[in-house]
Every structure is written in structure tokens, then in C-alpha cells.
Chain A
């Protein structure tokens, strides 16, 4: 099971000017002491069209993490406006907070972000070239989108290999025989996750 679960993410100072840093207060719970640090990232999606315009605002290691409930504030600078396509500067985009353990992403928290001119005049007649100093960033805090991924929490890659190399005859292929039955249980499952689940079966 997941050793770390996110209890809450509070968006601090929202809304705020476009150039203000992002600040998230993250509370999480860990049910077993972690051997290594967690890595958190804030990713700003510059354009819905392409991941090309994603900006990793910052990444930070968090540790040591003993069992228990913890919190910290993750602050990252505002995105670099020069990397945002001009057509996407104003309007709705997304900011993502991801956490990885041993390089495997296990949670992704996404928020819609609305960038707009608070000044009604500018809103009516936005300048040709976006004026970032006038833009206000508003994170839709009420509706976080949380996606959890299953990862291998134990650092025992050797054990995994051992099972993989295991004589298939002895294993009786038990995970396979039960998969079709379980398949019924997963109609709503996101297709992208299926390989993850089968990973766990190994």
C-alpha cells in the first residue's frame, strides 16, 4: 500500500499577482518511516496544447520522514512569462504538484489556475502582448484533482527480480488466473493505470 498519503494541500495567498511565488502548505501522513527523501515538484502548465511549455517551477526534497503526520510549505517562484505562449497567458491553465519516491510518481495534485486582469478595462480590451505585471493569478482551490499511482515503495528491486526469475511452473500462474475475474471490477479504471496494477501482481 502507499506509505504516504496526502491529507491536505492548502493554497496560501490566493489570489495573488502573477509574479508572486506559489506557496502550498502540504500535509501528509506516512505510516512507515521512509528510508529516503520524498521529492516534490511544482509544474506549471504553460499551454494546454503541449507539454513542451511545462515549467518545473521548483523541486524540493523532503525528509527525513518518520511515521506520522507531517506538514511543510512548498514555495516556488512564479513561472517565467517568456516561456508561456502569448495566446495562453490569459485564461485557464493548470498547476500540478507531484510527489515521487525513488523516482516514481505516486501522487499528482492538480489545480485549475485562472490568470486574468483584475482591472475591468484591461479585461475588456486585453493588450496584444500580455502584461504580466497586471495579471492576477487565481487558483481554484475548491476543486483539486488528485490522482494516485501505485508504486513500489520498498527498495528491494532484488526481490522483484527474484520473483520475475522464478520458475513459472512453480508459480502456477496464480496472478493470471485471477485477473479475468478482477477485470470485471475495473471497468472504471483509468486505462493508463492498468499496467501499474499488473505491476503489483508480480
Chain B
């Protein structure tokens, strides 16, 4: 046996309460007291194991330290997989840590040394439930559960698959619970408490199996921890502090009948920790001796308050080794290496010791198979715990299913390969956000950061998000933060979306083309886009790591005052807590507040004057003596505000999109028609909806499509035949031209690949074929035309009185008959920002408030198909259901209408920690509305896309009823009956083909194998028919 005390493993002299070796043996964690918080440190194991590594400067010793716990950390435990680390502390919290891969090394800011964190461990879950210090945590075998115990007398079982779900709270102890251990076969969990009892709980129903008190009757509650342990073969449970004849012992409790006949005796003070070696051993076969089968045995280490450590083998009557005076204070925790030959011990004195045994000393460890054979022979199937995640053992009932499962596994392997390849590149882009390197961002941060003013005149900066907290994959930061509840900051958020978007992303779309003058003034008053408050533009914001002046710390006279400053660094100043000492600012704040009101008034009347600024200046003059007032920047800000508003208008230029007709149809009362173009009368009487009309022009040209290239030329009043003035319509398509004449002036024209239509004065609408043949006698519109639109053989006319008609000129039927926009435009100052006519003749109106409606001819009603403010879209997270290859590359009317909103929402969801249930519900609701919208728009491609996504989500999350309903509808009646209402197609797709496509998706979850088989069989029957 070798003994080593690596002095470099320390918490700067502070006590170390817990130590745990990572299952792969490459690192270990310590937990304890930090400077003024709890501290968890992850250390490299190799410098402990090898002297060469310890001396090598290039081998890091400390890998990561986390001081996130507010108070002393009592326990650190790795999950069996090694993926997670759980820590529990006096701050009543359990934190679960996971290694983050995408962030490079970092330091704990302000920590004296320049110790870089080599590995990044990030807190992925904070578990709150205990009302007192958390004393011990333990992962169940298979990592399905995490147990924690606390001085609040309870043990909490957490669902480790779905943190922070609590599966059970075990109540029964009447004293501080100070230790936990799981039965290695997962049937029990045992806890030991200061109430002089050790309790064993069943994992089946989380009820008490037994409470053992006798060996603890004489115990006084004086140990900090009571870490008990279960032997790896499951036969014995060994307690911490017990008493036998007024001597401290570690009580051995047999699994059979919970008998307490044996104990480990010898320690002079209370036993604080017992830890079984994870291996089961058998006698080392010595050459020459007969190979007689010996009974396997276990090995156990016992630590005590008497500062000594003993190691026992269950086959020996006396301890294998006892080490006295190993530490200056009580032993707090013990951890074995997974190979069972090494042991780390930590102490309250802040040091750690490592013991290295040889196989000669302990024996031959059994292999994992031998170990599980022992489990099986003793307990039958050792998998007492079977969780939902372990469906792999479920019986596959159908060979088809098996095929799918195999294919699936193969695919996953392939994906893993490619994923591994990708991670290499992912790390290299870690410093890049939306195409801009972090350096670029930093250079311009001051200029670009969004600064606003609150209602009381205070500066408010929107911080730039440079990384999300996600230990998984690297994803680009999402710059806009959309609040879940609108009440986050009151008035600040009135026009949240546009000004808060940092202009980092140059491709940020201007929402649907046109500027929205109706919201602009509100935006300006609501958030004060103050821009940067740089007083001198010439200043370069780049960080300049300046060389420290050499004289700064040398002059002796300067040392005295520095001592005097010491308290200033550490003590909260009297001036700062609570309402800040902004008393000096108040007059200014008041003034600017008053000024804000004034601005608001001014802006309402849309008259921009410089008067508010004058007021500001005069007020600032009087404030010059106030030290913190900033007159110059205040007035400057006002100026900038004005510039900003102007700029915004410029930005709002319509985007060119051949498929869409970007236009701004303001709803104007007749009186307001003559007013400024941008102005919108806020109080339009609902009855007087009136859309702008195109005035007669001398001539105009219109490009209908670029491929094939097609132009329409209109010349009004060209030829006069006997006093009659005629208008000429000319159309050229791929070089071929045709011409025709009309008797009245042409106001507007539109065309598609199938038809060309023109609207003339006297409310006439004429339609021509692609060769110039008149298809219909002129249609008389109910009122003058406002907008004309063609897609395929559909012609849509929107009149000035806001009625909408759509005809199918080939079939010569009406699709939408003089439908009023009244219902969607009513009541407010909304405008139609965009019109779209789908290939199926469905008109879609995008309104300035971000909503989009389509007219459903079969229901004869307007359907809401998109809403920019839809909070569902922002909360929905179905990334896991997205097929890997098509990253939302689904185009169609729905995508056009919704723009990028859907993608951004998906990312936004990741910024908020929404409870899983809520997330599930919102995601379902969102996906369902998408499927329904695609269906209403009769966009088969998008319908298929969203249906697949929806089904995939249902499958992943295990929603059986909805899934079944979908399958039933797609399958239809297998035996046709005359009374059936079932349609075999949906938006031009064959339902049963869709179902065939869905089946492999359903097959991914074994839970739905019945459904899978049912559908499969019925489809087979149908095919055979």
C-alpha cells in the first residue's frame, strides 16, 4: 500500500467536506467551503497517480472550480455515467453540473491566481425543495434517480431523467438526515439521521421498509455527516456512527431480515463515513496452492472523527489496515476508484489523502459479468428499476418493428459519425456569433448596444447576449429577448420587438416591407432609442490592455491610503443599498420626465419641433452644479432620437419580392386622404373603410414575372378615333407580344402565367388570356378598384370600399364574393401591409399589427393563420422533432405569411426555462395551429411538413390519443361503406400515402408498436384489395 497526500489539492485551507472520483478515473471532485461561498473543484487525477505528471507544468491539476453555491458544499457525487456531477450544500440547493463543450477556458473573475478553468462545467439544473442544508446526495444505479437528504429531516427523490421533477419526498426521520446510500440492485435506499435511526425505504412505492434504532440508542448527534454505504453484492449495509457497549462502531446490517449482529469496532470516536469498494473480490490464487473456490468478499473503508482510517475485508476478522493521524481533523468523505485499488479521503482540515493498494493486498476483483451474475443469482432479475427510458428491454412484438428499430440504430450510428465530425468545426466557430466574431462585436459594442430611458429618466441598457446557457450543442446567440410576460418592465416593452433587436444581424427583415407609420410615434416615445451616449465619436471602443504604469504601486507613501481602501472593496457602502444615492440626480430626472411628457404630446400631433430640446437645455443649465448631472449627453440624446426616427422610416422601404405585392394600404377616412402620406388618422369610423385608389396615369409598365419574363405595358388615351379615346394594353411574354385596346382608361393591371387582367375607370374589370384573347365580358365591380392581383387562373380584386372578390376565370366561378375586410380591419388603425393570393385562390391579408388572415371560401369566414405576437410560437420548442436534413426549408404561402417569426420563436424558447409541461402544451398547440393553417391555405407541401413535425413530436413525447386520431383519419375505413364521409385525399395528398410516410416515425417509439402494427396491417389489407 502506498500513501500520498497531494498538498496541491486544497481549498486554500478551508475544509473539504466531500470527495468523489469520476467513474472513468481521470478526475475527481471536491466540495467544501470557499472564500465566501461554497466551492466545488474538479481536479485532474493523473498528477495524483503519477509523480511525473505532478511535476509536469503542462499537466493541469485543477480542471474547473465552481463557486456558485452560496454556502458550504457538503457533498459532491458523479453520476454513474460520469456525465453529471451533483453537489449539495448549506444553501439548501442541489446543483447538477454538466460539462459544456462550446465555451473556451475561463477564469473566475477576480480570483487572485490566473487559474484558467481547463474544463467548463455548467450548472444545468438547480434543485430546490429542501428547507435546510443538504447533507448528502446519491445517484441511483442506472442514474434514473437522484436522492438528497437534508437537515430538514427529509429525503427527496428526484427524477434524474427530467429534472427538477420530484418523485417522492421521504418523511419519517425526526432528526437531521446526514447520509444516503442506494441498494446496488436498486430495490432500496437507506438513510441515516441524527434521530438515532437508520431507515430503509423501498423504491417500489417509496415507503418505509424498516427503521433500525437499536445500535444507535447511545449515539449523540455530534458528527457532521453520517455517510453509510451498501456493499456491492447487496448483502450488507454498513452504517456510520453507531454504538456498542459505549464504544463507537460501524454497524453491519444484513439484508436478510435487517439483522444487526456484527459491527466494525476499533475507532475511538464516532464513525463519520463508510464506503464500500465498488468491486467484489476473490482470493488471489497463489501458485502452488490448490484452486479451491473461495467465497467472494467485499472491501470497506471506514473514516472517523478520531482522524483515522481503517480498511476492512469482509472475509477477515481484523482490519486490513488502520492509518492513524492521517489528518488534523475529522475524516469527512471517502471515494474509491472504479478499479477498486485506489482511495481518496478528505478531511475537515482541508487536505486530501490518496491510498494505493495492490491486487496482492485486496485480492482479484470480479469482472462486471461475474458481479451481475452474483446479483442475478441472489436477487433474480437485478433490474428492479425499469424506467420509461429503459424500454430497450421491452419485447418487440412485430418483425416489421424490429426492422425499423435496426434501421434506426444504423442511422443513429451514421449520424453520430457525422456529428463527431461536425463538433470539430463547431468548436472553432464558438467565438463567432451570427457571422461576427466576438472581437468585432466588442469593438462596436458601445455603439451598437441598445440604450433606452425608463419612464423616470434612468438609463437602461439591453445587454448583448453572447452565448446561451446550453451545455449541449453550440448555437448562435439569439439577440432578441422576448418576454414571456408582457409585464416585465411596464412601459418599456410597449414596442419591444423592433427597437430591442440589436442591429447586429444585417439580414434582420424589415417586417413585411412597408413602414408602419401608425406604430412609429408610439415606439419613439415608449422606448427612447437614445443610441449610444458617446460624447466624442472619435473615441475608439476597442479594449486596450494598457501597460500598467510602473510607478503605481511602488511609492511607499501610496501604500498607506491603499490600506485605508481595503474596507471599501469588501463592505457595502452605506450609500448604495436600497434606493441609490441618486438624490443629486433627482432634479434632472424630474426635468427630463416632464420633458418626456411634452415630447409625447408633440409627437402625437406628428409635428416635430426642437422645443423639447430647448427645455432640456435650459433645465440642464440650472443643474450644472449637480455633480452627476449630464446635461450635454441628455440634450444630445434628444437630437439622436430625432435622427433615429428619421432613419427608421428610411429603413422601412418595401422589399422586392416577385411573388408578393408589397404595398401599404392605409385605411383612411376621406378627410385624411389629403393629409401627409405617412399620417394615419387614428379614429377612423369603422363604417367608412376606404382604401386608396390608383389614380389614372398616362402610361405604365408592369413586370408580371421574370421567368418566363413577362411584361404588361399600358398606354392610356393613345389614339383618338373620331373623338373617342382608346387605351392600349400591350403584353410581351418571352419575346412574343400581343396588343389590345380598351375604351376607358386603365387604372391598374395584373397578370399571371395564365391570365392578364386590367381594371379600368367606370369600375370595369377585363380579363384576357395569355395570348390576348378576351375571356369574359367586363365585370362590373361594386366600387372603384384599389388593388388587383392574379395567381394562376385566379383574379382577385380589392375595391376601395374594402370588399374583396376572387374569381376563377377558367372555370368561370366565383371563389370569394364581395367579402368585406371590415371584420379584420375593424376597430383600430390597422392597415393591410401585404396581400397574397395562393395558387388555390385563397386570399391572405397581412395586417400591420402582425396578424395575417386568409379567407376560407368553404367556411366563408376569415381565418387567422399567423400572428407575429403569438406567444405560442415563442414558447414552442420542437427542435428535437425536426428532421436533421431539412432545417425548416419548407417554403409556401404559410412560410411567406409568417416570415421568419417561426424560426425565431423556436430559438427564443431556449432562452427561458419553461416548465416541461407548459412547454409541451404550447408546442402542441403551436404545431396544431400550424397544421391547421397549412390546411386552410391548401398548401399541400407545408401541410405535409407540419403534419410530419407534429406527428414526430407526438411520438417523441408519447401522446397516444392524438396520434391515434390522426392515424385513424388518414387510414379511413378499410372496408368501404356507402355511408362513409371519409375523403381519401387531403389538400391533394393521398391520406394513406401520408400514413405510410408517418409509420416509420411512429415506429421509432416502441411504446407505439401496437399502433404501428395495426396501421401496417390494415394498409397491407388495403394494398392487397
A residues apposed to B, CB below 8 Å: 1-2, 5-15, 21, 23, 25, 27-33, 35-37, 39, 41, 43, 45, 48-49, 51, 54-75, 77, 79-80, 82-83, 91-94, 96, 98, 100, 103-105, 108-110, 112, 114, 116, 138, 140-142, 144-150, 163, 172, 174-175, 177-178, 181-182, 184-186, 188-190, 192-193, 197, 200-201
| A141 and B445 contact, CB distance less than 8 A | no
Given A58-B459, A145-B569 in contact, is the A73-B445 Cβ separation under 8 Å? Answer: yes
> A23-B446, A45-B568, A69-B467 in contact; A12/B580 too (CB < 8 A)?
no
Verify A138–B544 contact, CB threshold 8 A. Answer: no
- B68-98 CB mask vs A (1 if < 8 Å, else 0) is 1111100000000000000000110101000
Cβ of B460 and Cβ of A92 under 8 Å apart?
A: no
Q: Would you call A25 and B552 a contact (CB within 8 A)?
A: no
5 sample A-B contacts, Cβ–Cβ < 8 Å, listed by A number: A1-B69, A7-B106, A55-B627, A63-B489, A192-B571
Instruction: In the A-B complex, list the 4 residue pairs whose CB atoms are closest, starting with the nearest.
Output: A146-B110, A70-B463, A48-B564, A80-B627
- A116 near B549 (CB under 8 angstroms)? yes
A10-B543, A58-B628, A77-B630 are known contacts. Are A66 and B465 too (CB-CB below 8 A)? yes
- The complex places the Cα of A21 from the Cα of B552 at a distance, in Å, of 20
**Are B562 and A92 in contact, with the CB atoms below 8 A?**
yes
A63 touches B460 (CB 8 A): yes
- Is there contact, CB below 8 Å, between B549 and A69? no
B33 touches A185 (CB 8 A): yes
Please state if A2 and B68 are interface contacts (CB–CB under 8 Å): yes
Report yes or no: B545 in contact with A62, Cβ–Cβ below 8 A: no
B1019 at the interface (CB under 8 A from A): no
CB distance from B431 to the nearest CB of A (A): 12
CB distance from A113 to the nearest CB of B (A): 9
Q: Does B576 contact A (CB under 8 A)?
A: yes
Give the chain B neighbours of A200 by CB distance below 8 A: 70-71, 90-91
B549 touches A138 (CB 8 A): yes
A190 and B570 form a contact (CB under 8 A): yes
- Contact for A177 among B176, B539, B570, B627, CB less than 8 A: B176
Contact of B109 (CB < 8 Å), options: A14, A23, A36, A144: A144
Which chain B residues lie closer than 8 Å to A13 at the CB level?
539-540, 544
Could you tell me if A41 and B580 are in contact, using CB atoms closer than 8 angstroms? yes
From B103, B126, B446, B468, residue with most partner A Cβ within 10 Å = B446
- Is the beta-carbon distance between B546 and A14 smaller than 8 angstroms? yes
- Beyond A21-B535, A62-B463, is A197–B71 a contact (Cβ under 8 Å)? yes
Q: A186: nearest residue on chain B (CB-CB)?
A: B33
How far does the alpha carbon of A116 sit from the alpha carbon of B69 in the complex, in Å? 41
> Is the beta-carbon distance between B569 and A68 smaller than 8 angstroms?
no
Q: Is the CB of B469 within 8 A of A68?
A: yes
Indicate if B286 sits at the interface (CB-CB under 8 A). Answer: no
Q: Decide if the interface of chain B is mainly helix, strand, loop or mixed.
A: loop
Neighbouring A residues of B72 by C-beta, 8 Å: 182, 185
Q: Which of B212-239 contact A (CB under 8 A)?
A: 221, 224
B residues in contact with A48, CB < 8 Å: 561-562, 564-565, 568
Given A66-B465, A96-B573, 10 more contacts at CB 8 Å? Answer: A5-B68, A43-B576, A61-B458, A71-B463, A77-B633, A108-B572, A181-B224, A185-B14, A185-B348, A201-B90
Known: A23-B446, A96-B568, A147-B569. A32 touches B913 (CB 8 A): yes
- In the bound complex, do residue B13 and residue A188 qualify as a contact, i.e. CB atoms below 8 Å apart? yes
Chain B CB count within 10 A is highest, among A65, A92, A112, for A92
Residues in A with CB closer than 8 Å to B123 are 1, 31
**Distance A145 CA – B465 CA, assembled complex (angstroms):** 25
Give min CB distance, B76 to chain A, whole Å: 15
The answer, among A15, A61, A112, A141, for a CB contact under 8 Å with B565, is: A112
A105: chain B residues at CB < 8 Å are 572, 576-577
Q: Which residue of A lies closest to B912 (CB)?
A: A33
Interface string of B166-186 (1 = CB under 8 A from A): 000000000110000000000
Interface membership of B35, Cβ < 8 A: yes
Nearest chain B CB to A194 CB, angstrom units: 10
Residues of B close to A73: CB separation below 8 A: 445-446, 449, 541
B90 touches A69 (CB 8 A): no
**Contact code string B441-453 (vs A, CB < 8 Å = 1, else 0):** 0100110010000
Q: What's the minimum C-beta distance from B262 to chain A, rounded to whole angstroms?
A: 30
The answer to whether B913 touches A67 (Cβ under 8 A) is yes
Q: With A146-B110, A200-B91 in contact, is A67–B544 under 8 Å at CB? A: no
**Chain B contacts of A5 at CB under 8 A?**
68, 109
Q: Report A-chain residues with C-beta under 8 Å of the C-beta of B551.
A: 114, 116
Nearest CB of chain A from residue B134's CB, rounded to whole Å? 11
Set A33, A64, A103: member contacting B577, Cβ < 8 A: A103
The yes or no answer to B647 lying at the interface (CB within 8 A) is no
Contact yes or no, B569 A69, CB < 8 A: no
Contact B461 A61 (CB under 8 A): yes
Question: Does B1022 touch A at the CB level, under 8 Å?
Answer: no
Q: How far is the CA of A194 from the CA of B17 in the complex (A)?
A: 20
Which residue of chain B has the shortest Cβ distance to A33 in the bound complex? B912
B574 contacts A by Cβ under 8 Å:
yes
Q: What is the bound-complex CA distance between A15 and B546, given in angstroms?
A: 7
Say whether A174 contacts B176, CB under 8 Å. Answer: yes
CA distance A31 to B95 in the complex (A): 12
Within 8 A of A (CB), among B1-43: 12-15, 32-33, 35-37
Chain B 1008-1025 residues near chain A, CB threshold 8 A: none
Write the nearest CB–CB distance from B913 to chain A, whole angstroms: 6
With contacts A43-B576, A144-B109 taken as known, whether A67 is within 8 angstroms of B553 at the C-beta atoms is no
B565 engages A94 (CB within 8 Å): yes
B36 x A189 contact (CB < 8 A) = yes
Which A residues are CB-close (under 8 A) to B549?
15, 114, 116, 138
B36 and A148 contacting across the interface, CB-CB below 8 Å: yes
Nearest CB in chain B: distance from A17 CB, A: 11
Q: Tell me the B123-140 residues at the A interface (CB within 8 Å).
A: 123, 126, 131-133
| Beta-carbon contact of A108 and B570 below 8 Å | yes
Q: For residue B446, which residue of chain A has the nearest CB?
A: A73
Closest to B485 in A: A35
**Which chain B residues in 49-66 approach chain A with CB under 8 Å?**
none
**A64 touching B488, Cβ below 8 Å:** yes
Of A2, A91, A100, A174, the contact of B558 (CB 8 Å cutoff): A91
Find out whether the CB atom of B469 lies under 8 angstroms from the CB atom of A67. Answer: yes
Tell me the chain B residues, 141-156 only, with Cβ under 8 Å from chain A: 151-153
Q: Are B574 and A138 in contact (CB under 8 A)?
A: no
Q: Give the distance in Å from the alpha carbon of A62 to the alpha carbon of B463 in the complex.
A: 6
Q: Bound state CA distance, A59 and B577, in angstroms?
A: 13
Cα A27 to Cα B434 with chains together (Å): 18
Shortest Cβ gap from A145 to chain B (Å): 4
Tell me the nearest residue of chain A to B15, going by C-beta. A185
A1 near B126: Cβ-Cβ < 8 Å: yes
Task: Give the nearest-CB partner of B627 in chain A.
Answer: A80
A188 touches B14 (CB 8 A): yes
Residues of A within 8 A of B69 (CB): 1
Residue among B70, B539, B546, B561 making CB contact with A2, cutoff 8 Å: B70
Nearest-Cβ distance from residue B384 to partner chain A, whole angstroms: 33
Pick from B133, B483, B580, B628 the residue with the most CB of A within 10 Å: B628
**Nearest CB on A from B535, distance (A):** 7
With A185-B15, A188-B14 in contact, is A68–B33 under 8 Å at CB? no
Contact A60 B95 (CB under 8 A): no
A68 in contact with B446 given A37-B460, A56-B581, A188-B35 (CB within 8 Å): no
B454 touches A61 (CB 8 A): yes
Q: Name which of B109, B152, B465 has the most chain A CB atoms within 10 A of its CB.
A: B109
Q: Does B575 count as interface, using CB distance less than 8 angstroms?
A: yes
Q: Which residues of B contact A32 (CB under 8 A)?
A: 126, 913
Chain B's closest residue to A172 (CB) is B153
B106: A residues at CB distance < 8 A: 7
A48 to B15, CA, bound (A): 35
In the assembly, what is the distance between CA of A5 and CA of B445, in Å?
20
A64–B574 alpha-carbon span in the complex (Å): 27
B548 contacts the other chain (CB 8 A): yes
Is B758 positioned at the interface, with any CB of A under 8 Å from its CB?
Answer: no
Chain A residue with the shortest CB-CB distance to B470: A68
